[in-house]
Amino acid sequence: MNRKLTLALTTALAMSTLLAACGNNNNSSEPSKAAESSAPPASESASPSAEPSKEAEPFTVSLRHIQIGDAQKFRKAILDDVVKKTEAEVPGLKFELDGVEDAANRFTKLPAEMAAGNQPKIFDLFGGNADALKYAKAGRLLDLTPILDELGIKDKFLNVFGQFTLDGKIYGLPIGGSVEGVFYNTELFSQNGLNPPTTWDDLIKAADALKGKGITPFAMGSQAAWVPNMLVNTIIGRYTNGFPNGIVTGEVKWNQPEVVAAYDLYSDWVGKGYFTKGELGKSYDDMLNDFAAGKAGMMFDGSWRSSAFKEGAVAASMAGKVGFVALPALPNAAGDQTSLNANYSNGYGFSSDLNDQELAAVKGFIKNLYSDEMQLRGLLEDGVLPSMKLSDESLAKVTDPVVKQVLDVMKAAGTTFVHFDAIAQKAVYSETELQLQKLIDGKASGQQVGDAIQKLQEAENAKTK
Amino acid sequence: MTRSLKNSVPHVVLLIYVAIILFPFVFVLFSSLKTDNVEISQSPFGFPTELNFQNYSDAWVKAKIGTYFFNSAYLAVTSAVVGVLLAAATAFAITRMKFSVSSKLIYGIVLIAMLIPGNVLFIAQYKLVDVLGILNTHWSLFLPYTAGALPFSVLLVAAFMKSIPGELEEAAIMDGLGAAGLFFKIILPLTVPALVTVFIINFLGNWNEYLLSYFFISTDSLRTLPTGMVGFRDAYQTNYALISTGIVFSVVPVLLLYSVLQKQIIEGLTAGSLKG
Amino acid sequence: MKSTLKNPAVYIMFVLPTLVLYGLFFLYPMFSSVYFAFTDYNGLDATEYVGLDNFKNAFSDTNFRTAIINNMYFIVFSVGIQVPVIIIFALLISNVKRLKGFYKTTVFMPSILSTSVIGILWQFIYDPDIGPITDFLGWFGIDPIYWLAESEWAMVAILITNAWQWVGFYIVLILAAILAIPKDIDEAAAIDGANARQRAWYLTVPLIKPIISVVVMLSIAGAMRVVDIVLVMTNGGPYGSTEVMASYMVNKAMKYGEYGYGTALALIIFAFALVLTFIYQRTFGRTERIEY
């Protein structure tokens, strides 16, 4: 009996230590966080970084970024520098970097984490109804307005908070901006005696000529449908007034003739073989590779891609051979033909459940990342248009020929409109992806695509009312 | 003549099948030693022109394969070991101890779980580990892996223990062994073949598990090999030479283990699925 | 003395950890699934009871219908095509005298590898630009097939990969049963003048019927469970044409945050599995054990 009791006791003890170990091991930052937040000393919260005298307790802050792979290395270098600098400034801080591929993070990882409420402390975030605003409504995002005020940088930003603002509060900081347009291979164009695709006629002429030579007119990678959706977005914008904002108010319908015409145009181009064969199996990187290898003469992409054509970048072989223009004016289309798709939609958001230490880390991160220096580096090294005001002399430092063209295109634009992924509800957006892929595969007509999306759009609009 | 021809026909057919099985491995091995996609596409079947080991150091550094590998290994081993021990203890209690009513009940409950397809409880388990506060820790994998292996392991080990003759334990009790001593000194050693089977099944199941580890773990340094490899693929999606190297890294250790333990692994897995 | 095996404290100690884990990771999720399936729970907004809406939606959801059909493809392919191939190869291996061990270990090999790694590997094999299949087809003058990009081929490509991974496993399973048949039966038949094919068909196959029935059951169970390979190779694409029930459920819950709907789908999958088990028990499962 005695022995049995001892055994029972030792087992019970072992179990409890195991459980205790569970608790501890889970999250090394968890216990300290609870202790911190339960009794925050007022002085500490005011300026935690100004206390180097006190031996700083080490703590980690999770940081989710999407700068993985070779194509993103310039952006990653900037991030690494900001991380290093912030770690040096905030005692005890160690960032725990977690790189996840863009679409996997935006459409799978982050939504699941948001629903569970265990999002990283700092994370890559997209603006708009399906992302930032949705999470802000659920109270997952940190209100950044007071931090911007405290750091005194609010006015340094351009007018870029539209997709991150809810009830006057700012919930995300766009890292930069982009416009979407046509990249073309200047060498291929001149070899074949083609004019730059600045007018619709020249664009079509070039496409047909390239096609005739066995060169794909437009590189395309539709495995992830956000890629072809960029072009669709701009074409619909050219055809349709009030797009995309009108889709949630009901002023614009996905199955109205103008939008259907845009889808029909895309479908027509697929039929004419303007896009890479088998585009549904091609990734976004494949698209760049095909363009860089000279297999395709043009591609429709965001201005951020300009950094791929630099010295030392993934498509360095194309350095000096790339032109960038806005999609030329469409004949007989109702929309504003000088209007350009421009987005300040990608940046960083921050978790609402921060303790004081973490808050200090976040402030340091914001201060270091959203600075003149890093914004200029982003522009020069990575071709990302600044989201903050840079001086003219800074802007004059731009030497990259593609970035220069991007800036010219922006200057020439009459108005800008955002990508519909910032406006449409998530379910609607994913329906546009699904339907577009169907269209590409020849399984749906423009009208069917429009009808299907509109059906879902109305259901979603009714939900929010 | 015709006889030897007749005898070689099955071999020809089988060797073609073996070639189909082995070809992807050889292809990936060759590709991992090629410089880039161009070299691969020019001769997918060809031997690399010169052996390029650069990919190996690149992949090791870029993909943290060592970390993923370690995570997978220790999670797979610990949860398989704990699962086996818990299952053996439970099987011992319900087959050898004299509580027939509750034992039957426990056996029945455990049996029901065999009817539930693995993924059905995924969402609810996600919520559970969230509520337990262990999301994004290795506990969120260790516990479901261990728990998930229990129903099957209990059934298999119990079936095995039932066949152990009762005289043995009577003698042991005469010698003054308590229940624990009986379990550890007499029953467990006798059950080793069943335990090995269960361990191998659970180990490989955990080692290869993808769904939970993809959604329950968000931190790169905590990822297991299957999810780590998918992340690596996403990051370098068009650099096939590099991805091939990653595949080689993740496959070779398993194949080495297999070449040493093939008999036990094959017997374990097949016996497992037959008795389950 | 006997009390050792009748001590309730010891008994509880031995079964408790298992029961706790079991309750936590099986029973509780089961019950909470039933609860969530009747709500619009999404993790972000307030949860409301929605009655049978989720189930109604599921049955009018054309994407889910595609997923069900794809699971059926999996079942038909693995039972209708794989099982006969498996039996033939098992018979072939059992009949050769040399290299038996080599064949056995080689064909078994893919089934110990991670499905996600296999998925990545085969994506590469299928790649229309640099994959070897394109080259191979090129020898016969066949144009590249965009395996994972075309809705007509993507499912086939996944089924082939899945077969590549699992056929060897089942071959070894059946092979073990064939080798367990006493040699004298076969020899007696040979003396009676039956040739190898006749002996295989009229003697061996009837004797291994029980194990074939097990393989059929395992194939169906495997086809219902399939998810990793779809998530890794196509993630359901192009446009949902390769989605299976489990991947659709996972995507609905994790991507769109529709946890309530997702758990309703989970319950439907469970119901499907029960029905299939029942049908199986009523048909194949009835095969009686054969005594030699």
Smallest Cα distance from A282 to chain C, Å: 8
Closest CB to A118: pick one of B130, B178, B234: B130
- Each residue's pLDDT tens digit, B25-43: 999 999 998 877 777 777 7
Neighbours of B49 (CB within 10 A): 12
Residue A410 and residue C64: Cα distance in Å, rounded?
44
Q: What is the pLDDT of residue C289?
A: 46
Q: What is the pLDDT of residue A55?
A: 62
Are C9 and A114 inside 8 Å of each other by CB? no
Closest CB to C254: pick one of A111, A279, A281: A111
Domain with CATH 3.40.190.10 in chain A: 56-171+345-386, 178-343+404-464
CA distances from A355 to A36, A159, C228 (A): 7, 30, 38
Q: What is the pLDDT of residue A34?
A: 37
- Each residue's pLDDT tens digit, A297-351: 999 999 999 988 988 888 888 888 999 999 999 988 888 888 888 889 999 999 9
Asked if A61 and A95 touch (Cβ cutoff 8 Å), the reply is yes
Q: What is the pLDDT of residue A202?
A: 95
Q: To 10 degrees, the CA torsion angle through A307, A308, A313, A318?
A: -120
Residue B141 and residue B80: Cα distance in Å, rounded?
12
Mean pLDDT (whole number) for C46-56: 90
**A116: pLDDT confidence band, cut at 50, 70 and 90?**
confident
DSSP string, chain B: -HHHHHHHHHHHHHHHHHHHHHHHHHHHHHHHTSSSHHHHHH-TTSPPSS--THHHHHHHHHH-HHHHHHHHHHHHHHHHHHHHHHHHHHHHHHHHSS-HHHHHHHHHHHHHHTTS-GGGGHHHHHHHHHHTT-TTSTHHHHHHHHHHHHHHHHHHHHHHHHTS-HHHHHHHHHTT--HHHIIIIIIHHHHHHHHHHHHHHHHHHHHH--HHHHHH---GGG--HHHHHHHHHHHTTT-HHHHHHHHHHHHHHHHHHHHHHHHHHHHHHHHHHHH-
Give the β-pairing of A59-65 and A173-174. Answer: unpaired
The mean predicted confidence, pLDDT, of chain C is 88
Smallest Cα distance from B37 to chain A, Å: 10
Q: What is the pLDDT of residue C89?
A: 95
Residue of B79, B234, B240 to mutate, testing the A interface (most A Cβ within 10 Å of its Cβ): B234
Are B238 and A68 inside 8 Å of each other by CB? no
Strand partners, A141: A351
B270: closest CA among B209, B221, B179, B201? B201
Percent of chain A with pLDDT over 90: 59
Structure tokens at B46: 């060809």
**B267: pLDDT confidence band, cut at 50, 70 and 90?**
confident
Distant-in-sequence, close-in-space partners of A230: CB < 8 Å, separation ≥ 6: A180, A300, A301, A302, A341, A419
Please tell me if residue B94 touches chain C, with a CB cutoff of 8 Å: yes
- Each residue's pLDDT tens digit, C235-270: 888 998 999 999 999 999 988 888 999 999 999 999
Please tell me if residue C239 touches chain A, with a CB cutoff of 8 Å: yes
**A218: pLDDT confidence band, cut at 50, 70 and 90?**
very high
B225: closest CA among B207, B237, B211? B207
Domain boundaries, chain B: 1-52, 57-275
- Each residue's pLDDT tens digit, B179-212: 888 888 888 998 998 898 899 889 988 998 999 9
Q: What is the pLDDT of residue B250?
A: 87
Please tell me if residue A113 touches chain B, with a CB cutoff of 8 Å: yes
Backbone angles phi, psi at C68, to 5 degrees: -60, -45
Are C30 and B128 inside 8 Å of each other by CB? no
Are C257 and A443 inside 8 Å of each other by CB? no
Q: What is the pLDDT of residue A465?
A: 57
Smallest Cα distance from C63 to chain B, Å: 18
Q: What is the pLDDT of residue B150?
A: 92
For residue A17, the SS3 value is: helix
Are C148 and A279 inside 8 Å of each other by CB? no
Mean pLDDT (whole number) for A430-436: 93
Please tell me if residue A9 touches chain C, with a CB cutoff of 8 Å: no
Amino acid type, B74: Y
H or E element at residue A202: helix A200-212
Asked if A210 and A182 touch (Cβ cutoff 8 Å), the reply is no
Are B44 and C131 inside 8 Å of each other by CB? yes
Chain C residue numbers touching B40 (CB-CB < 8 A): 130
The mean predicted confidence, pLDDT, of chain A is 86
Smallest Cα distance from B247 to chain C, Å: 7
- Each residue's pLDDT tens digit, A15-57: 443 333 343 333 333 333 333 333 333 443 444 444 444 567 8
Are A115 and C256 inside 8 Å of each other by CB? no
Q: What is the pLDDT of residue A56?
A: 72
Asked if A355 and A37 touch (Cβ cutoff 8 Å), the reply is yes
Q: Which of residues 130-159 of C touch B (CB under 8 A)?
A: 130-132, 134-135
Q: What is the pLDDT of residue A180?
A: 94
Three-state DSSP string of chain C: CHHHHHCHHHHHHHHHHHHHHHHHHHHHHHHHHHHHCCECCCCCCCCCECCCHHHHHHHHCHHHHHHHHHHHHHHHHHHHHHHHHHHHHHHHHHHCCCCHHHHHHHHHHHHHCCHHHHHHHHHHHHCCCCCHHHHHHHHCCCCCCCCCCCHHHHHHHHHHHHHHHHHHHHHHHHHHHHHCCCHHHHHHHHHCCCCHHHHHHHHHHHHCHHHHHHHHHHHHHHHHHCCHHHHHHCCCCCCCCCCCHHHHHHHHHHCCCCHHHHHHHHHHHHHHHHHHHHHHHHCHHHCCCCCC
Among A9-13, A233-237, A388-392, C129-133, where is mean pLDDT lowest? A9-13
Smallest Cα distance from B220 to chain C, Å: 17
Asked if the peptide bond before residue C110 counts as cis, ω within 30 degrees of 0, the response is no
Backbone angles phi, psi at B189, to 5 degrees: -60, -35
Mean pLDDT (whole number) for B88-115: 89
pTM: 0.86
**C233: pLDDT confidence band, cut at 50, 70 and 90?**
very high
- Judged against a pLDDT cut of 60, whether residue C95 lies above it is answered with yes
Are B127 and A116 inside 8 Å of each other by CB? yes
Residue of B21, B120, B248 to mutate, testing the C interface (most C Cβ within 10 Å of its Cβ): B120
Class of domain C62-286: mainly alpha
Backbone angles phi, psi at B209, to 5 degrees: -65, 135
A34: closest CA among A23, A42, A43? A23
Smallest Cα distance from C248 to chain B, Å: 11
Give the β-pairing of A59-65 and A122-126. Answer: parallel
Among A150-164, A244-258, A319-333, B115-129, where is mean pLDDT lowest? B115-129
Q: What is the pLDDT of residue B275?
A: 59
Contact partners for chain B, using 3 or more CB pairs closer than 8 A, are: A, C
Which superfamily, per CATH, for B57-275?
A: MetI-like (1.10.3720.10)
- Each residue's pLDDT tens digit, C140-181: 988 888 898 888 899 999 999 999 999 999 999 999 889 888
Residue B161, Cα to own-chain centre: how many angstroms?
A: 24
Q: What sign for the dihedral angle of Cα B97, B99, B101, B102?
A: negative
A278: closest CA among A221, A200, A328? A221
Residue C200, Cα to own-chain centre: how many angstroms?
A: 27
Closest CB to C5: pick one of B27, B120, B179: B179
Structure tokens at B149: 């292996």
Chain B residue numbers touching A64 (CB-CB < 8 A): 218
- The strands making up A173-174's β-sheet, listed across from edge to edge, are A93-99, A59-65, A122-126, A346-350, A173-174
Are C266 and B254 inside 8 Å of each other by CB? no
Chain B residue numbers touching A69 (CB-CB < 8 A): 234-237
Are A70 and B239 inside 8 Å of each other by CB? yes
- Judged against a pLDDT cut of 50, whether residue A7 lies above it is answered with no
Among A445-459, B114-128, C27-41, C111-125, where is mean pLDDT lowest? B114-128
Q: To 10 degrees, the CA torsion angle through B99, B101, B104, B105?
A: -120
Are A4 and C7 inside 8 Å of each other by CB? yes
Smallest Cα distance from B67 to chain C, Å: 16
Neighbours of A162 (CB within 10 A): 14
- Each residue's pLDDT tens digit, A233-264: 999 999 998 899 899 899 999 999 999 999 99
Residue A72: DSSP 8-state: G
Q: What is the pLDDT of residue B3?
A: 66
Distant-in-sequence, close-in-space partners of A26: CB < 8 Å, separation ≥ 6: B133, B134, B137, B139
Q: What is the pLDDT of residue C285?
A: 61
For residue A341, the SS3 value is: strand
Give the β-pairing of A416-417 and A340-343. Answer: parallel
Q: What is the pLDDT of residue A311?
A: 81
A296: closest CA among A271, A268, A315, A312? A315
Residue A127 and residue A422: Cα distance in Å, rounded?
6
Which superfamily, per CATH, for A56-171+345-386?
A: Periplasmic binding protein-like II (3.40.190.10)
- Judged against a pLDDT cut of 80, whether residue B98 lies above it is answered with yes
Q: What is the pLDDT of residue B168?
A: 80
B135: closest CA among A358, A113, C253, A349? A113
Which superfamily, per CATH, for A178-343+404-464?
A: Periplasmic binding protein-like II (3.40.190.10)
Neighbours of C268 (CB within 10 A): 20
Closest CB to B219: pick one of A69, A96, A117: A96
Mean pLDDT (whole number) for B213-229: 90
Structure tokens at C202: 């009229």
Structure tokens at B236: 């370098």
- Each residue's pLDDT tens digit, C207-229: 898 889 889 988 998 899 899 99
Nearest residue of chain B to residue A109 (CA atoms) = B215
Structure tokens at C132: 């070897």
Chain B residue numbers touching A2 (CB-CB < 8 A): none
Backbone angles phi, psi at A124, to 5 degrees: -65, 135
Smallest Cα distance from C230 to chain A, Å: 14
Domain boundaries, chain C: 62-286
Are A111 and C255 inside 8 Å of each other by CB? yes
Q: What is the pLDDT of residue A49?
A: 46
Q: Which of residues 193-252 of B touch C (CB under 8 A)?
A: 204, 207-208, 210-211, 214-215, 225-227, 229-230, 233, 240, 243-244, 247, 250-251
Give the β-pairing of A173-174 and A169-170. Answer: unpaired
